[in-house]
Structure 1
């Protein structure tokens, strides 16, 4: 299929819809029409691409078409689990033409198509798109640099993921595939671009294009070298590094940013990328990088001559990253090993970049939330202060005493200047940053610093220099110093005793009333982190510690949150909402007196942010707060349970009716939590009326809803399986199970649902469906087997055997064998025995071990003639499971709230985020068995006694692998010890 053959009328219609998406008055209807066309017309993406190529169409329509195409690919290309959503012929047509289109369209359209290529390549390259690199290389042109930049940008978007991937054979196979075809054209273009920059050094228009090419080439240089140094680059390291060094020192006013610009110019960006490359080579390929000392001198000089303007921030931080890497290397110890050199580095590089600049003050006042994120979250990894602090810590690797003494002398000078006049407050600010840098040789975790510099007394320094700023009236003095004081306490909280923290805690609470945005936000941040502190898996602060402050904390925090005048500004400050959540987590049952007021505030907030859910973290903390209140107050309290349902029903119904897609999964999780708390024999009407809607297909179309809906069905089946059977709702639920296991993305949820069904649905009802269920599972294993699904299948079979206490293991064997003779034997040999040791998780391993023990010792069929030969093989697999590496602790039983820190959870998904507060402790269907090894030994002894002919003993002695026998004897000895103690 090509771009021809699409009717002109169809193209005109699509162009009309695209134009209407640009008008707010017609946008929604036009988007619906486009979605309909996408669903009904197989050649929809080909038509959109054809529109993009038409020069006679309005540029805004072409750009809208590129956005639609990119989003179409993102939605549909990767979702192949439920059947291919894009026909194979269409896929091939897109891959054949998209590179040709990409290099001919304007740059802003090029960028959107490049993202689409990246998505396609992430799924298809290299195995299903082996021509991609050749397609890209063939488009490189020694003269057309606009085209070249489109090709290079696309290549970078594909290769840059290598920077963060773990080393593996498939990854290196892909990289080598690229290197074979890409290195030589890359190097030729690099040399050609260098020549063009020299030739047209006075032609600004051309230089700008060539500079963009050089920047992209530097990014690709990093991509191609990030995992290992390719032989091509090793062979050409001298000319490459010579060129890179030339551009570190290169100067041309036509490529530098304007004096008044705040943004980095092309040349600053190129130099920043070169600093990244030489940092990579220093870290990973030092033995090949003989030019390193030359770069040290050059970059050192660069840092001492670069101005303090914000447009140089990225360059300065990358340059300091390079020096930070070098100074830690033992081989280059001599470059820095004298006090004069270290003092020069501190004076010329550290101090100028540690001082607060006017641009920082402006950010503090005009964009406080951005100031906080840069200062705190690590989004400031490219800021001068962070880079300077890292450089100080790096110098302390080998020169701790020297750097502590040198920096300490400057700290003393700065504090003296401040003591002479409060107008010198920037000196104290710099002193605090310097002190923090030399006091923290390690990096902080979410639980705070664990290692500090023994040469610095951070607690004494707090009492002398920090505490006075916290004790002055809230909005008096310099707010930056207030923030510094709070941040110091936040940073060194682990070094403070609990008594000291309890003493200063009221000061933090008072600072929530500050009129300054940064001050009161930092107070909330410090409060939340202090309440998150734990020692030996026990929270340092408990409900008794914060009881005197709970009400004031909540009143202040809600007042600050609700000061936002729009849904966006209300949800902007997720630090405040996180502090509310942490107060609830800490106060627990002590929330009872305030719960009505808290829920009033949360409902008000929920109503506002539902209008435009703009901040996923803020949203998550709102629902975690609701889940926490339900968890702590409704357990064993029917009256409170009804009150919560009454409070939440209205807002939750509104969310479901308005289909606020970001919030629907949260609503189902909390409804599940509420339902599971009910103890009555009859479900309340609210839940009876909700279940039919949950069984409708449309709710299950959204991938974000699936985990929450499965949890909801679990709650229904757990609470009222008999009602579900009576109302003929089991078959629709089984239909959902069938749909879920057909999807690679959702099959684990299908297996979770199946485990719930076999656990709570009576055997007499299950009998009529079990054959069809097993057939579905086996068909999926045969048609689309994955390691994840295979392991899930093994877990399910073991779970089924372990929980089937009344009918015994033979019920499960017969369920398989009713489909085909000796089918269970095939399942044992093909799946369970080979994969048993791969089972992870304390509870899952325990369930599998108990299941295999029951199979060995409580099944008559396993001892029959047709199965008896597998008996010692199963026993050996079980012993190997016991002896395989396993978790030390039963983490399934640990209170998740001890570890919950959403800020640190980089796996956050906008479509679905699990609420920790609504999670049930992992149930163990084998809880009555404390030690599976002893259980195996006891059951084997019982089985041997039941077979006095010695049949069992003979199999153990003669057919069990020799390496397993000592372990079995050990289990027997343990069982005998237990028996003797009883």
Structure 2
């Protein structure tokens, strides 16, 4: 197509007639794979005489094509346009000039194009790029310098998160950073928007380089002083008032506030990541820098921040919410270092009273959001501490850290909160300030863990609840009703001396669950969860369970909060028997909720590339909510798996949810769905026709998009084979699908050894459960295993090595004659026997031992003269191998029983542990504050130290026991079931040994000719054990009820 025709197509995409628009978009889609189309699009983008909306449409098309096709695909892909190298060179030669001339609407798209090119081609395939950038930055034209800064920022973005291969970055820092710092210094006194945009780019460039590392040059004071000065000048610079919007949301987006935010982010990063000695591991390379920084630079930053806060408190300056958050983050870090804390301590009371407290009070903005969008209010406030950009969350974190480690701050906080509550209590109705009371309760709630650890303070909390919290459960202000519920939740570990107070709390929460206001209902539901640790509350709740679950489901349908699903999940687990009468109805409601969320998720997938951060957060919330509902459904199934009739109804009810998830390949939900399939196929020890239809869907999904989920699929696939073996045996198509999954797992380059472990377990299940019915797959299975097992050194993962060996052992047990023939024909016999026999003592689990015994016994069933030469020459070693496994079997069984016993105890301990989390009074100790003359080393610092030590231990080194490490023992899989579980190896050995003696005396003679007296005695012991076991089995069978 000529360029004029292409221009007209872009023009048509803005036609008011939707049919014309659609035709143009379809035609453009068809042209994507046409050579030269990108160059023509670029020419239209760069043509200043073109209409602006046409240039914009062409730039979007250009951007999308570059993002899709610039990279080289890993495999041949006929749908992937291969952009000619000449076209790539043309684009790279012109992209920066295009940016210079482009209007803002078009420039945004071109910046994305540049970033895509650099991430794929820089530095090797874009060697002249930096020279061009340097030329742009040296221009006297601010517009050209602006593009130079954009170009520098995009190349730095390539290295933003790179820890290795930073040499080109170090060169860029040395070459460009003195220059852009000078540019910034020349702009800092300007008041125009263009200066703000350029300063923002300069600070972003600096921040990109310090994200994961701080170069030696940047650690040098020759660099740090001018950059630090520039950053502090930006912090202290009053924002020019001319042309500023009045709306706070618009004001935050203004270039000057964006520039300020990036200056704050740079200073925060320097201190929190590299400049605070107490936050660094002892052997950190940044320790010398940190000692200098905390002495000479951090005090200046603190002073500048405190000055801005002072202006904000006095209402002489506005501070954007993001910057307030960054200031709170910095103050939190300042609590830890004793030197910086000594500078902050005189301001602590002011900061608590006038900086933190106002941010925790219910604001007019909160009220507007509550009224306009209660769902969004819940998202914003319920998980507030997970919002890293929330100023109130930062204020809470700052307060909590300060109160935890510095005693005077803790007492100042309690004094302030108590004064506010007392003032509210004593004030007349007209003069009460409910918003301040809310802030005081937020403060106390934030310190709940600390308060409960102080027995003297914990004892004072009951009167506080009676006087200041319980009354607000019926407050005229909805936000105070919600806050009262939240307080009950935060202090759920508090034991009331007066049990009537517990009843008041429960009754109040139940009433709030009936509230008309969504945020109140949600906080009430979340507070009910920890209340069920009290037996009296459990009993009181039982009559209301149907109502409670209905409300939880209704809220989950209305709002995607995964914590609500966690409440449902726990209630289902705790009240399983009480929910049984309406379990099917509950399951149907859960299914409908799940499908509603999934359909909402599915609608957003097509436009995923264009989602902004808010939309991505919403999509994430929906995913988490769907996962929570799935988990609840799984818990319900597990709690009712002993009731087959109910399970059948649950299976029917949940079939649409299972089918929707698999058909739409919603990968984030596969984990939960496969657990549900596992439960259904395992609980009844039979596979229904519905579940066989699901099997076909699993296979289709696996082949199309789910190779990476073989580990999650394996339990279900094993159930299909184990409990549906009649179908597997009779249906060749099902056999083929199972084998094809195994073959794909063993061959795919996308999968690793951990996935191939699952493949081997699948093959084992097929061979063990379908003996005599899958002969044609024995050879192909062995061939795929030996691709990895020969040579055995190719396998580095212990479990894969063992599972691969055991597939061959399973094949021997399945049919020794076929297997030995295949091994011999392919020259694998000697190699395999060597690997197997040298590793017998490493196959330490009960299943390993029993499998070795049955495989070796299977070999014994083949007469010696029909054995391969390698076996004939070492025939007596077969008996040695059997005896060796029997010698280790009792120990393995004892270990397994001990583990089962430990697991049983572990269950009880886990339950107790969960109660301890809810009721940890026994473990509470008096919290010790850190002396003001000491540094604070919190858990985060301890974890960093631990990671540093681990990294030191794991540095590459020569290992003398490398071969030995390949055979590390594996732990018992307590939930693993197989046909061997019901097989008595003693009886099997006795029968095989006796048959060999009677039917193949020559083979028997060869086998036993070298046995020692000890071995003969041990064989007699095995026979005696077999006899005893046979008698027990007969008695058990006789005592069993007749069908």
Alignment match, 1:250 = 237
Unaligned runs of 5+ in 2: 281-288, 602-618, 861-869, 915-972, 983-1006, 1016-1043
Structural mapping, 1:208-247, within 5 Å: 208-223=196-211, 226-234=212-220, 236-247=223-234
Alignment pair present for 1:315 and 2:368: no
Contact kept in structure 1, 2:470 and 2:484, CA below 8 Å: yes
Structural mapping, 1:392-411, within 5 Å: 392-396=399-403, 399-400=406-407, 402-411=408-417
Q: Structure 2 vs 1, CA of residues 37 and 823 (structure 1 numbering), >3 Å: closer, same or farther?
A: farther
Cα distance, 1:137 vs. partner? 6.8
Cα distance, 1:267 vs. partner? 3.7
Contact kept in structure 2, 1:114 and 1:153, CA below 8 Å: no
Alignment match, 1:970 = none
- Could you report, residue by residue, the CA deviation over 1:185-209 in whole angstroms, capped at 9, with x for unpaired residues? 341342243144157x14x242133
Contact kept in structure 2, 1:525 and 1:576, CA below 8 Å: yes
Contact kept in structure 2, 1:627 and 1:670, CA below 8 Å: yes
Alignment match, 2:547 = 552
Distance 1:759 1:731 in 2: 14
Cα distance, 1:553 vs. partner? 0.6
Structural mapping, 1:267-282, within 5 Å: 267-280=259-272, 281-282=274-275
Alignment match, 1:673 = 679
Contact kept in structure 1, 2:634 and 2:672, CA below 8 Å: no
Structural mapping, 1:248-397, within 5 Å: 248-253=235-240, 258-262=245-249, 263-264=251-252, 265-280=257-272, 281-283=274-276, 284=280, 285-289=289-293, 290-306=296-312, 312-336=320-344, 340-377=346-383, 378-396=385-403
TM-score norm. by structure 2 comes to: 0.67
Q: Structure 2 vs 1, CA of residues 96 and 791 (structure 1 numbering), >3 Å: closer, same or farther?
A: farther
Distance 1:664 1:345 in 2: 48
- Could you report, residue by residue, the CA deviation over 1:524-560 in whole angstroms, capped at 9, with x for unpaired residues? 22234556x7xxxxx9999767423312212322344
Alignment pair present for 1:183 and 2:173: yes
Q: Equivalent residue of 1:477, what SS? A: coil
Q: Equivalent residue of 1:493, what SS? A: coil
Distance 2:26 2:732 in 1: 36
Alignment match, 1:206 = 194
Contact kept in structure 1, 2:133 and 2:152, CA below 8 Å: no
Distance 2:496 2:9 in 1: 67
Contact kept in structure 1, 2:157 and 2:208, CA below 8 Å: no
Cα distance, 1:418 vs. partner? 0.4
Distance 2:1010 2:27 in 1: 73
- Could you report, residue by residue, the CA deviation over 1:301-326 in whole angstroms, capped at 9, with x for unpaired residues? 12211367885222122123222212
Distance 1:83 1:754 in 2: 29
Q: Structure 2 vs 1, CA of residues 205 and 253 (structure 1 numbering), >3 Å: closer, same or farther?
A: closer
Distance 2:91 2:204 in 1: 20
Distance 2:76 2:536 in 1: 52
- Could you report, residue by residue, the CA deviation over 1:393-425 in whole angstroms, capped at 9, with x for unpaired residues? 33346531x223322322232122201135222
Q: Structure 2 vs 1, CA of residues 784 and 525 (structure 1 numbering), >3 Å: closer, same or farther?
A: farther
Q: Structure 2 vs 1, CA of residues 658 and 391 (structure 1 numbering), >3 Å: closer, same or farther?
A: closer
Contact kept in structure 1, 2:763 and 2:807, CA below 8 Å: no
Cα distance, 1:595 vs. partner? 2.0
Q: Structure 2 vs 1, CA of residues 195 and 848 (structure 1 numbering), >3 Å: closer, same or farther?
A: farther
Alignment pair present for 1:426 and 2:420: no
Distance 1:111 1:782 in 2: 55
For structure 1, which segment, 358-367 or 693-702, has the greater mean C-alpha deviation from structure 2 after superposition? 693-702
For structure 1, which segment, 47-56 or 583-592, has the greater mean C-alpha deviation from structure 2 after superposition? 47-56
Alignment pair present for 1:775 and 2:783: yes
Alignment pair present for 1:519 and 2:520: yes
Alignment pair present for 1:579 and 2:585: no
Contact kept in structure 2, 1:802 and 1:925, CA below 8 Å: no
Cα distance, 1:584 vs. partner? 1.9
Q: Rg larger in 1 or in 2?
A: 2
Contact kept in structure 2, 1:255 and 1:266, CA below 8 Å: no
Contact kept in structure 2, 1:73 and 1:120, CA below 8 Å: no
Alignment match, 1:700 = 704
Contact kept in structure 1, 2:312 and 2:318, CA below 8 Å: no
Alignment pair present for 1:72 and 2:101: no
Q: Equivalent residue of 1:227, what SS? A: coil
Q: Structure 2 vs 1, CA of residues 662 and 460 (structure 1 numbering), >3 Å: closer, same or farther?
A: same
Cα distance, 1:862 vs. partner? 8.9
Structural mapping, 1:739-778, within 5 Å: 739-746=744-751, 748-749=754-755, 751-761=757-767, 762-778=770-786
Alignment pair present for 1:436 and 2:445: yes
Alignment match, 1:906 = none
Alignment pair present for 1:720 and 2:724: yes
Distance 2:88 2:792 in 1: 25
1:632 to 639, 663, 680: 639
- Could you report, residue by residue, the CA deviation over 1:492-526 in whole angstroms, capped at 9, with x for unpaired residues? 32344797767633432221111122111111222
Cα distance, 1:470 vs. partner? 3.5
Distance 2:574 2:454 in 1: 33
Distance 2:66 2:526 in 1: 38
Q: Equivalent residue of 2:575, what SS? A: helix
Contact kept in structure 2, 1:751 and 1:796, CA below 8 Å: yes
Q: Structure 2 vs 1, CA of residues 678 and 267 (structure 1 numbering), >3 Å: closer, same or farther?
A: same
Q: Structure 2 vs 1, CA of residues 821 and 756 (structure 1 numbering), >3 Å: closer, same or farther?
A: closer
Contact kept in structure 2, 1:675 and 1:716, CA below 8 Å: yes
Distance 1:750 1:393 in 2: 47
Cα distance, 1:607 vs. partner? 5.2
Contact kept in structure 2, 1:577 and 1:621, CA below 8 Å: yes
Alignment pair present for 1:415 and 2:401: no
Q: Structure 2 vs 1, CA of residues 798 and 150 (structure 1 numbering), >3 Å: closer, same or farther?
A: farther
Cα distance, 1:452 vs. partner? 4.7
Q: Structure 2 vs 1, CA of residues 51 and 478 (structure 1 numbering), >3 Å: closer, same or farther?
A: same
Distance 1:228 1:813 in 2: 62
Q: Equivalent residue of 2:291, what SS? A: coil
Alignment match, 2:1036 = none
For structure 1, which segment, 11-20 or 663-672, has the greater mean C-alpha deviation from structure 2 after superposition? 11-20
Contact kept in structure 2, 1:272 and 1:314, CA below 8 Å: no
Distance 2:839 2:685 in 1: 40
Contact kept in structure 2, 1:355 and 1:430, CA below 8 Å: yes
Contact kept in structure 1, 2:56 and 2:106, CA below 8 Å: no
Cα distance, 1:863 vs. partner? 11
Q: Structure 2 vs 1, CA of residues 636 and 697 (structure 1 numbering), >3 Å: closer, same or farther?
A: closer
Higher helix share: 2
Q: Structure 2 vs 1, CA of residues 272 and 240 (structure 1 numbering), >3 Å: closer, same or farther?
A: closer
Cα distance, 1:490 vs. partner? 1.9
Q: Structure 2 vs 1, CA of residues 759 and 351 (structure 1 numbering), >3 Å: closer, same or farther?
A: closer
Distance 2:834 2:129 in 1: 46
Whose relative contact order is higher, 1 or 2, with alpha carbons under 8 Å and at least 6 apart? 2
Q: Structure 2 vs 1, CA of residues 701 and 299 (structure 1 numbering), >3 Å: closer, same or farther?
A: closer
Alignment pair present for 1:923 and 2:976: yes
Q: Equivalent residue of 1:494, what SS? A: coil
